[in-house]
Structure 1
Amino acid sequence: MEDFKRMAIFASVVEQGSMSGAARLLDMTPSAISQHIRQLEREAGITLLHRSTRQLSLTDAGQRFYTQCATMCEVANRARAELAAERQEPSGELRMSAPAGFTQHAAPALGAWLARHPALRLRLLMDDAPIDLIQARVDLALRFGALADSSWVARLLGRSATVLCAAPQWIAAQNQPVRHPADLTQAHWLDMSRSDKPALELHWQHDASGEQAHFQVLPQMVSNHRSAVQQFCEAGLGVALLSAHDVTASLRAGRLVRLLPDWDMGQLDIWAVTPQRDVQSAKVRQAMEVLRQYFAQLDGMQQTL
């Protein structure tokens, strides 16, 4: 690396026409510049510059060497320009991973942004199983819920309220209205879980009175896919705790009805996770902000800074 530095200094001396000019440009002393040039000549065993009190001139070997040094500096400048452009304008391929439940949100969240940046390509990897970001060469991962400890960098995009839902036909089939969590202890429950834990533990708190309710139920249906649980719920097969950002459209369309809206049933954190801590590229920075803004405008979301 020291040789590269000396080559860049040599190119600057030639272009500035003097060691003092190169020193001013590089914020070095003329004596330091001279030492670097002499070291280059000692290591090569060749004179590169003819020196006089008035001017410097290149030897034949120095002229050929300068041509290669100038090319090296030009390539380095282009490389720096590429990095600067990457920080300012999203381009290239963005490799992003997300749970399968993000499928319904992918186009609404990212479509307009992609359309504004034709130099940007998206490779979206949908998988509920956590993947190794480094091994999969993922730039940005969308994660929901509690995060496992890791060296990765996580940014909180928002919090989605957990809401209790049932289909209109399920509600119509009940002998009595649902007014309290205790009314649901014998209901058919649908649950999203990635573990083999049989029971679903429920902990709720009433918004106004502070009353708490705690009980366990044995779900009739469990899936590791949120979308599957929601589909079973919309089919009238039971009640489910779902995330507000997933059920907004179904609630508006009347496919689902929210039960016990005065009870706090918790929230689901939504994270953007990246594998590196250094300066993020424009495509990663902008993707995180686009996702944050998208989730913030959905019903039941708590906006974050």
Structure 2
Amino acid sequence: MDSLKRMALFARVVQHGSLSAAARSLGMSTSAVSQQLRVLEREAGVPLLHRSTRRLALTDVGSRYYAACARLLDAAGEAEAELSAARQEPVGELRVSAPLGMADQIGPALGQWLHDNPQLRVHLYFDDGWTDLLQARIDVALRFGQLPDSDWMAQRIGTLQRWPCAAPQWLQAHGMPTDPLQVPAGDWLGVAQVPGLVWRHPASGQERLVPAHPRIVSQNQPAVRQLCTAGLGVAVLTCLDVSAQLANGTLQRLLPGWEVPPLPVWAVTPHRQCQPAKVKQAIALLEAHLAGIPGAVPIAQDRKRRR
């Protein structure tokens, strides 16, 4: 037993007024408590307690020493209370990393929760790269697509359908395609794909491997959407990216009979166990928000479909 534990034991003995009562509260035998007190006094080099068969009394130095030990015990209790509060209530700072395309979604997903929990602070990192969770002290990161192997904990919180889209001016110039191979290879926009996307036509069972040689390449999906809206080509965008544009007519969905692989969404955390309440609740709220986006597949439905 180290000196800090002996200090806490000494404070307990004084507070309970007897070795036996302190032993019961600590889950120890009375003889073990007595032995640890003797070790503490031997290390201190002075007597701390006057002990008799009926009562305990602090020595002068023991009284001053107890005051310091009691403060230590109080600080330990406060520290434990902080941990308990973190487990039960969303407190402190929550650090969230997400792609730039999620910037418009965090407010609707977490806004009411933040309003209801004013003791919680949030630090948002928007980056289409792979932020180092440990270096940036990230509590939860949103990741899209297939994840590389890592020691981090990944929880699937939804799936986004991906739709080919084009602006009305592109359609005026090229017409409405009925097969993905009818889109000129150089008119695709987005991330370079090698060799391309596999498209499926569920009604007929046909598949197409569409080679994509994008005319304009970007790792930033909002930028790709803007290029597509400007009529510069066809982009495969998630339902999250284009719901507003499809609603207002600035983009139109192409090839509705064809499907491309949907995009899984993950909540990634650096710890596999003991998630604080702020992380658990934030993940649950993000999952619920994604489930309400037109075209998204709720995680419960997605699990059934993948069985």
Partner Cα separation in structure 2 for residue 7 and residue 121 of structure 1: 36
Partner Cα separation in structure 1 for residue 26 and residue 259 of structure 2: 63
Counterparts in 2 of 1:183-194, with a 5 A limit? 183-186=182-185, 188-193=187-192
Partner Cα separation in structure 2 for residue 67 and residue 108 of structure 1: 51
**Equivalent residues of 2:191, 2:214 under 8 A apart:** no
The AA in structure 2 aligned to 1:92 is G
Q: SS where residue 42 of structure 1 aligns?
A: helix
Partner Cα separation in structure 1 for residue 88 and residue 76 of structure 2: 19
Residue 93 of structure 1: how far off its partner (Å): 2.1
Residue 38 of structure 1: how far off its partner (Å): 1.0
**Higher mean displacement: 110-119 or 77-86:** 110-119
Q: After superposition, give the CA deviation of every residue in 1:82-121 in whole Å (9 maximum; x if it has no partner).
A: 1111222222222222111112222222222222221222
Q: After superposition, give the CA deviation of every residue in 1:182-212 in whole Å (9 maximum; x if it has no partner).
A: 322456111135xxx6x56121111222211
Q: SS where residue 97 of structure 1 aligns?
A: strand
The match for 2:254 is: 259
**Higher mean displacement: 43-52 or 178-187:** 178-187
Residue 65 of structure 1: how far off its partner (Å): 1.3
The match for 1:27 is: 27
> TM-score, normalization: structure 2?
0.92
The match for 1:79 is: 79
Partner Cα separation in structure 1 for residue 78 and residue 55 of structure 2: 31
Partner Cα separation in structure 1 for residue 203 and residue 3 of structure 2: 72
Q: SS where residue 148 of structure 2 aligns?
A: coil
The AA in structure 2 aligned to 1:31 is S
**Equivalent residues of 1:204, 1:213 under 8 A apart:** yes
**Equivalent residues of 2:154, 2:268 under 8 A apart:** yes
Tell whether 2:274 aligns with 1:275.
no
Counterparts in 2 of 1:9-158, with a 5 A limit? 9-158=9-158
**Equivalent residues of 1:41, 1:48 under 8 A apart:** yes
**Equivalent residues of 1:165, 1:240 under 8 A apart:** yes
Partner Cα separation in structure 2 for residue 125 and residue 53 of structure 1: 64
The match for 2:304 is: none
Partner Cα separation in structure 2 for residue 28 and residue 210 of structure 1: 71
What value does the CA root-mean-square deviation take over the aligned residues? 1.7
Residue 235 of structure 1: how far off its partner (Å): 1.7
* Greater strand fraction, Structure 1 or Structure 2: 1
The match for 2:303 is: none
Tell whether 2:221 aligns with 1:226.
yes
**Equivalent residues of 2:199, 2:210 under 8 A apart:** no
**Equivalent residues of 1:200, 1:219 under 8 A apart:** no
How many aligned positions are there? 300
* Displaced runs of 4 or more, over 4 A: none
Instruction: Quote the sequence identity (%).
Output: 49
Question: What 5-or-longer segments of structure 2 have no aligned partner?
Answer: 301-307
Residue 265 of structure 1: how far off its partner (Å): 0.3
Which of 212, 221, 227 lines up with 2:207 in the alignment? 212
The match for 1:238 is: 233
Partner Cα separation in structure 2 for residue 55 and residue 117 of structure 1: 49
Q: SS where residue 287 of structure 1 aligns?
A: helix
Q: After superposition, give the CA deviation of every residue in 1:201-256 in whole Å (9 maximum; x if it has no partner).
A: 12111122221111313211111110111111112221111111211121122222
The AA in structure 2 aligned to 1:288 is I
Which of 277, 287, 296 lines up with 2:291 in the alignment? 296
Q: SS where residue 261 of structure 1 aligns?
A: coil
Q: SS where residue 133 of structure 1 aligns?
A: coil
**Equivalent residues of 1:49, 1:57 under 8 A apart:** yes
Q: SS where residue 159 of structure 2 aligns?
A: strand
Partner Cα separation in structure 1 for residue 116 and residue 249 of structure 2: 34
The match for 1:203 is: 198
Residue 174 of structure 1: how far off its partner (Å): 2.5
The 1:186–1:134 alpha-carbon spacing in structure 2 relative to 1, beyond 3 Å, is: closer
> TM-score, normalization: structure 1?
0.93
**Equivalent residues of 1:191, 1:200 under 8 A apart:** no
Question: What 5-or-longer segments of structure 1 have no aligned partner?
Answer: none
**Equivalent residues of 1:187, 1:239 under 8 A apart:** no
Residue 132 of structure 1: how far off its partner (Å): 1.4
